[in-house]
Amino acid sequence: MLLTGAEIVIECLKEQGVDTVFGYPGGTILNIYDELYKHADEITHYLTSHEQGASHAADGYARSTGKVGVCMATSGPGSTNLVTGIATAYMDSVPLVAITANVSRNLLGKDAFQEIDIVGVTMPITKHNFIVKDVKDLAKTLRKAFQIAQSGRKGPVLVDITKDATANKAEYTYKKPLEIIRSTENILEEDIENALRMIQKSKKPFILVGGGATSSDAAEEVREFAAKISAPVCDTLMGKGVMDGNDPLYTGMLGMHGTKTSNLGVSECDLLIAIGVRFSDRVVGNSKGFARHAKILQIDVDRAEINKNIKTASSITGDVKEVLSILNKKIEYTSRDEWTNHILDMKEEFPLKYREDILTGPYIIETLCKITEGDAIITTEVGQNQMWAAQYYTYKHPHTLITSGGLGTMGFGLGACIGAKVGNMDKPVINIAGDGCFRMNMNELATATRYDIPIVQVVINNSVLGMVRQWQNLFYGKRYSCTTLEDKVDFVKLAEAMGAKGYRVTKREEVEPVLRKALALNEPVLIECQIDPDDKVFPMVAPNTAISEVFAEEDLEAKGFK
């Protein structure tokens, strides 16, 4: 069948089961958008307010559904506006295919209007990328892009297509997508046996779960593994929901804003089993003091992550779900009552706490969790709002906290919220933002109203860049350089101007009724919650210190902060 390049793009998307695309048209990609118009009954395209919003929406769609997210943009500024979203997906190993169009082949390298070497720009932040100059290469390249994005350690792939390649014709034949096979080729029996011996000898094991377990859909295997070896479980931001937050063995997040129980427990354990984690500096703190009494057993699909940041005693390379399935078959239940009871006592001694006399970020999140019974999908921006969402919402399932962990992208949440809702119309989807983050990409509220996507946008407004101010307060002598926003923006009126419902909350007693009303409306809603500018995130580990030095608000004076 002889088709144009643009027609081949659409047929390849249909081959891959793609029915949702986020993007923004422009001159060089017009041929593809013309074909999208003809196939609107098969592929729904969401026009975002900005290309960055498209990449974040595709990311949120991918994280929440497990499918590949797809975004599109034209050449020049269109493609460069995708870069932050691509980098966000790369840092968090999210399967994404970004399709861009460039100037015609004869104009490449001549500084033509809106020409950019987007392949060169994105090389460090993609799993792989391509430029297609010949229409005959287009179908096989797109198929390869989807295969790469989903296999092994997942990640974003960019395909740039010259405009003439979208217009020229080539033979196209339908091909069924190749099956994505879980990575097992590097799982060695010797490594499995070493791991089993380490677990058997351990008296105080602790499990650390990260994004690799989420990506691998290994929640069932992690929970069985933890129960069999009687080990407490903590997680990273990316691992939320892999372990049911209500499980007695679950101790909360590890790291800079992790719980005291997780930080102190990992510092006491004799074996730390790290499942799908990369030992980020925000998790590890000062690496010399990290889990200093423990041997480290690391399980990861990416061999490059082994011994990269933390030296391991042993490791297993392979898909997390496959590795744990093998271990679970070989492990018999072992009781470690003394250790688990000690951890349970720590949970009682060191609960998360916040002020109960004023409206605070934690209270808002905790109330939201109560109303939704922990069954919503939560997206976040970055900073205090993100940490409170991680600490005070109880995640029962994976793929329900959608947040920028590695890159820390302010402006991520609203686009991701739209993408997550599009992929999960049957679930409530709420974006938690600070006022500083919301300003970054608040134009995407117009996308939600354009398509009547029923999301709830919560803006926790403290009139400052909260997390940066917190650091300035604790470590920079209260010199608040450029962090006091003093906006004159009325977020409620802004929401209404964009076609959404808007509500303002200033008191604790207003939170629950307004949240319930917003969720019941089933339309785009913004809720502005005004809190104190010095509401802080605790517990905390100071930069470059060991996680065992974790402190809460009541420890400030002893730590020399007052």
C-alpha angle 134/136/139, rounded to 5°?
A: 110
Pairing of strands 2-4, 169-171: antiparallel
Contact residues for 491 (Cβ-Cβ < 8 A; gap 6+): 435, 438, 459, 461, 502, 504, 526, 528
Burial of 376 (0-12, 13-18, 19+ CB in 10 A): buried
CA distance 270 to 497: 57
To the query of whether residue 440 is one of the catalytic residues in this protein, the response is: no
From 11, 51, 381, 528, the catalytic residue: 51
Q: Is the pLDDT of residue 424 over 80?
A: yes
Q: What is the pLDDT of residues 318-365, one digit of tens each?
A: 999 999 999 999 999 999 999 999 999 999 999 999 999 999 999 999
CA distance 218 to 235: 14
Q: Among 539, 540, 513, which Cα is nearest to 527's? A: 513
When pLDDT is cut at 50, 70 and 90, the band that residue 130 belongs to is very high
To the query of whether residue 467 is one of the catalytic residues in this protein, the response is: yes
CA dihedral 352, 355, 357, 358 (to 10 degrees): -110
Helix (H, G, I), strand (E, B) or coil at 98: strand
Pick left, alpha or beta for residue 553 (phi over 0 → left; psi -120 to 50 → alpha; otherwise beta): alpha
Burial 23-57 (b: 16+ CB within 10 A, else e): bbbbebbbbbbebbeeeeeebebbebbbbbbbbbb
From 256, 410, 467, 498, the catalytic residue: 467
From 163, 321, 347, 536, the catalytic residue: 163
To the query of whether residue 221 is one of the catalytic residues in this protein, the response is: no
Q: Among 88, 86, 69, 90, which Cα is nearest to 78's? A: 86
Q: What is the pLDDT of residues 198-252, one digit of tens each?
A: 999 999 999 999 999 999 999 999 999 999 999 999 999 999 999 999 999 999 9
Q: Is the pLDDT of residue 31 over 70?
A: yes
pTM over 0.85: yes
Q: What is the pLDDT of residues 11-20, one digit of tens each?
A: 999 999 999 9
Q: What is the pLDDT of residues 425-472, one digit of tens each?
A: 999 999 999 999 999 999 999 999 999 999 999 999 999 999 999 999
pLDDT at 416: 98
To the query of whether residue 51 is one of the catalytic residues in this protein, the response is: yes
Q: Is the pLDDT of residue 490 over 80?
A: yes
Q: Which residues pair with 502 in a beta bridge?
A: 526
CA distance 57 to 49: 11
Q: Is the pLDDT of residue 486 over 90?
A: no
CA distance 436 to 386: 12
From 14, 15, 114, 220, the catalytic residue: 114
When pLDDT is cut at 50, 70 and 90, the band that residue 562 belongs to is low
Q: Is the pLDDT of residue 73 over 80?
A: yes
Q: What proportion of the chain, given as a percentage, has pLDDT over 90?
A: 98
pLDDT at 561: 81
Burial 298-313 (b: 16+ CB within 10 A, else e): bbbbeeebbeeebebe
Q: What is the pLDDT of residues 145-201, one digit of tens each?
A: 999 999 999 999 999 999 999 999 999 999 999 999 999 999 999 999 999 999 999
Q: Which of 379-393, 478-492, 512-526 has the lowest mean pLDDT?
A: 478-492
| The one-letter amino acid at 460 | I
Which domains, from first to last, does the chain contain? Answer: 2-171 (3.40.50.970), 189-349 (3.40.50.1220), 361-543 (3.40.50.970)
Contact residues for 316 (Cβ-Cβ < 8 A; gap 6+): 187, 188, 191, 192, 195, 297, 298, 299, 323
To the query of whether residue 163 is one of the catalytic residues in this protein, the response is: yes
- The average confidence (pLDDT) of the chain is 97
Supply 553's token pair. Answer: 């608000």
Residue 154's alpha-carbon distances to 85, 89, 249, in angstroms, are 15, 9, 29
Q: What is the pLDDT of residues 493-504, one digit of tens each?
A: 999 999 999 999
| The one-letter amino acid at 521 | L
Supply 233's token pair. Answer: 């479980």
Q: What is the DSSP letter of 285?
A: B
From 1, 38, 42, 113, the catalytic residue: 113
Mean pLDDT on 99-123? 96
Q: Among 108, 131, 133, 135, which Cα is nearest to 119's? A: 131
CA distance 336 to 311: 26
Q: Is the pLDDT of residue 552 over 70?
A: yes
Q: Among 526, 446, 544, which Cα is nearest to 490's? A: 526
Contact residues for 42 (Cβ-Cβ < 8 A; gap 6+): 14, 19
Q: What is the DSSP letter of 182?
A: -
